[in-house]
Amino acid sequence: MKRWAAGKWSESPDAVVMEEPLQLLLDGEPLSVVMRTPGNDIELTIGLLYAEGVIQSAKDVKAVRISAEADERESAIDVDSSVVESNVIDVHLAKPPGRRPERSMLASSACGVCGAVMIEDLRRGLSPLGEGPRVQASVLPGLVELARQRDRQARRRAHGGEHWHARGD
């Protein structure tokens, strides 16, 4: 594959990152199917349930059932690897959910704004952040580039190659 970088073309191998569907169950009932790069399914699912307001913290999760094939563990949550089917995760709550999702639960690596019905839905349950560390604005571009480099390195290690977006980063 040819790549354009630093004002010149170069040849380099390209690896394809695999995506698979993941069936989400909530207390044994179908909730949604999402596409994802396999791995970290527990983290993805708990984060999605948190973002949707279904749970407020990991303490709201009684247990997670997932395929033994996934070989995932989570120290803060009881994980039961007894699900026979691959690509299925079943989250059992400690109490009734804070709310049932009102949309299709579209999951992507995007920020979560797409698919919301109203802007107010994005603010649900959020409180202002407290005082935190201060960083000079001039430092931020370097931090963004450092994060991109670390992300690329992690993807190379995980997939033996690199997933390139259309814009080439």
User: Hey, what are 157's tokens?
Assistant: 């290690």
Say whether 114 is catalytic: no
Write down the residue that tokens 């749970």 correspond to. 55
Write down the residue that tokens 């109203």 correspond to. 118
| Domain range annotation of the chain | 20-123
- Of these residues, 1, 5, 84, 111, which one is catalytic? 111
Helix (H), strand (E) at residue 103: none
Q: What is the mean pLDDT of residues 22-32?
A: 87
Amino acid at 143: L
pLDDT tens profile 54-111: 998 889 999 998 887 767 777 777 777 877 678 888 999 998 887 777 656 655 555 5
Asked whether the predicted pLDDT for residue 167 surpasses 60, the reply is no
Strand partners, 32: 24
Write down the residue that tokens 């997932």 correspond to. 66
Greatest CA separation found in the chain? 58
* Cα 28 → chain centroid: 21
Q: How far apart are CA 157 and CA 151, in angstroms?
A: 10
User: Hey, what are 86's tokens?
Assistant: 């691959």
Write down the residue that tokens 């994980």 correspond to. 79
pLDDT tens profile 41-51: 889 888 889 88
* Cα 146 → chain centroid: 20
Q: How far apart are CA 15 and CA 152, in angstroms?
A: 13
Residue 160 has what DSSP assignment?
Answer: S
